[in-house]
Amino acid sequence: MKTNYYISVIIFFLLGSCSSITKNRTIKGNLNDAIENAILDLLNSNTFKNEQVFIVHAKSINNEIYGVNIIGVDNKLLPNSNNKVGTNHPYFPTKYIIKKDKLFYWYDANEFITKKLIHTLAKYNQIDSLNVKEFIGIPKTSGLIDDSKKGIDYYFCKNNLVKYKKVITNKAMGWYKPPRLKCRKN
């Protein structure tokens, strides 16, 4: 009898925690909402639990699907004279989110570099200080990409951001056949 009770309690808590995760996700929204849903999914899984800082790349795949890639960061950002507060340059992030003490950052063409963003990147030791005032040179470790490192690619239905599939891979989005999603309204 006690065994059934404990099993019931465990199932209750598991179902309750799963539904709260789903409640926090946005159903309708834009690319930034898809990014936030992807971050919530990553944080609620055991994937990449030892990583502290992540870079996010997101794009519209087609009329029905958003693509969001999240990967742990190995290298620091290399700011140059184009990357100043109030500017916007595709090779430097303009948005970020901190969740569960983990930093996620990405470039958003509609946003600009802020003092708060620079302060946050510095707090997480993500800015290469050699390049802050002027371009001096690229340190030997910067710019190196570990092709074996895996990230997570998320594919979201634009009409229902709770409907998605994810792929853990070391291949860039667009270099493999993406999973099929049935996004059309029935």
Helix (H, G, I), strand (E, B) or coil at 121: helix
Which strands sit side by side in the sheet containing 160-169, from one edge to the other?
95-99, 102-106, 53-60, 65-72, 151-157, 160-169
Q: Quick check: 64 and 181 in contact, CB under 8 A?
A: yes
pLDDT of res. 154: 97
Residue 182 DSSP class: -
Mean pLDDT for 135-160 is 71
In this structure, what are the phi and psi dihedrals at residue 76, rounded to the nearest 5 degrees?
Answer: -85, 160
Share of the chain above pLDDT 90, in %: 53
Which residue, 40, 68, 41, is CA-closest to 55?
68
Could you tell me which of 48, 65, 67 has the C-alpha nearest to residue 56? Answer: 67
Q: Residue 130 pLDDT more than 50?
A: yes
Is residue 71 classed as helix, strand or coil in its secondary structure? strand
Task: Note the pLDDT of residue 77.
Answer: 86
How confident is the model at residue 153, as a pLDDT? 96
| Distances, alpha carbon 113 to alpha carbons 34, 70, 106, 116, in Å | 21, 20, 11, 8
* 3-state secondary structure at position 36: helix
Percent pLDDT > 70 in the chain is 77
pLDDT tens track for 60-103: 999 999 999 999 998 888 887 788 899 998 889 999 999 999 99
**pTM of the predicted structure, to 2 decimals:** 0.79
How many angstroms separate the CA atoms of 115 and 90, rounded? 18
N- to C-terminal Cα separation, the chain: 45
